[in-house]
Amino acid sequence: MNTHPAFDIFRSPRRPSDIALWLIAALHAAAFLSFLLVMGFAQPARAQGQDMACRGTNVLTQLKAQNPAAYARVEAEAAKVENGKGLFWKIDKPGLAPSYLLGTMHVTDPRVLAMPNGAVEAKSSAKVIVVESDEILNEQQAMAKMLAKPALTMMTDGKTIQSYLSAGDLAKLEAGLKTRGIPLAAVSRMQPWMLSSFIALPACELTRKAQGASFLDKQIAEDAVRADKPVKGLETMEEQLSAMASIPTDFHIKSLMEMITLGDRMDDVMFTMTELYLSGDVGMTMPMLKAVSPDGADGEGYAEFEERIVTKRNHRMAERAAPILKDGGAFVAVGALHLVGPDGLVSLLRQQGFAVTRVE
């Protein structure tokens, strides 16, 4: 495929599914990163008096203008993704009040916080609110639990990130962290996937989190508490972080350094992913990533990552949602990437006997 200079950074042997891995990992860790920022473990640079709106270039808009045939292939591939369109779904079963399923992004972007049409009303009328982890409501308690098991987030074998990197790579990492206002010395014992998350998320997002802005899932849970509604979680934070920690360190190191090399181009990919979310085209995310890279093969270790971080979690969330949904009247909010595909929540809930239909 001929590529425009705008895509030159993807000419090296980085695979589109690796890029997806970084973004999934970053979004997966977004809630916990909020706790780290609030508790002062890391403080990104704060642009005094500046507009903190996240900006970037939509790589699909570029692709459509520069290579219409490639863009058409993206659309065709996205059309094949099961349940790939839509963020907001109605869950029905005879004899029960309807429940609803909302796909979220764990970010503080005001456009994301606005939610799709009908979601606010469904949330207001629900009897119970369900999120990935209800521990997001108590930052201090969640941090205390994680600090009691430091191996989930920190290197506890005496090693530091410096132990895994050459002098050249270490200099690149230090420079990349510096752009986020994070000194390497403050985070050198963190697990590399934590550092990847700091790099993958735009500086504007980290700054908003540090200033106390709630991401969508937390806002939904906080609104429920104010409305005196019960909030239930489908996972614990420990389960979520254990899934990340179970991936080999060398794999995380490789991803971290490839992300550092991508630099500001990651902001464009994240910007595009956000725009796809806002348009409800979640299923176009992977085809988009393939389009901006000439290498279409899956990255080494990606299948294992997808199984542990996405598929197993989807099945666990669907299983734990079942007894809540059997009473009807629930509003469930989980990351949008957990909705799509044959092992996504939409398909899994249908297998439980629910009629799950997209709300237009």
Per-residue pLDDT tens listing for the chain (360 residues): 333 333 333 333 334 345 555 555 555 555 555 555 544 555 554 444 445 678 889 999 998 999 999 899 999 999 999 999 999 999 999 999 999 999 998 888 999 999 999 999 999 999 999 999 998 888 778 777 777 888 888 898 999 999 999 999 999 999 988 877 788 888 899 888 888 877 777 878 877 877 778 889 999 999 999 999 999 999 998 888 888 888 888 878 887 887 787 777 778 888 998 999 999 999 998 788 777 654 443 455 567 777 888 899 999 999 999 999 999 999 999 999 899 999 999 999 999 999 999 998
Q: What is the pLDDT of residue 246?
A: 83
Does residue 296 belong to any structural domain of this protein?
yes
Does residue 5 belong to any structural domain of this protein?
no
Q: What is the pLDDT of residue 360?
A: 81
Indicate the pTM of the whole model.
Answer: 0.86
Does residue 1 belong to any structural domain of this protein?
no
Quote the number of domains for the chain: 1
Does residue 108 belong to any structural domain of this protein?
yes
* Residue span of the structural domain in which 131 resides: 15-358
Q: What is the pLDDT of residue 21?
A: 53
Q: What is the pLDDT of residue 306?
A: 76
Residues 6 or more apart whose Cβ sits within 8 Å of residue 140: 39
Does residue 4 belong to any structural domain of this protein?
no
Q: What is the pLDDT of residue 89?
A: 98
Does residue 8 belong to any structural domain of this protein?
no
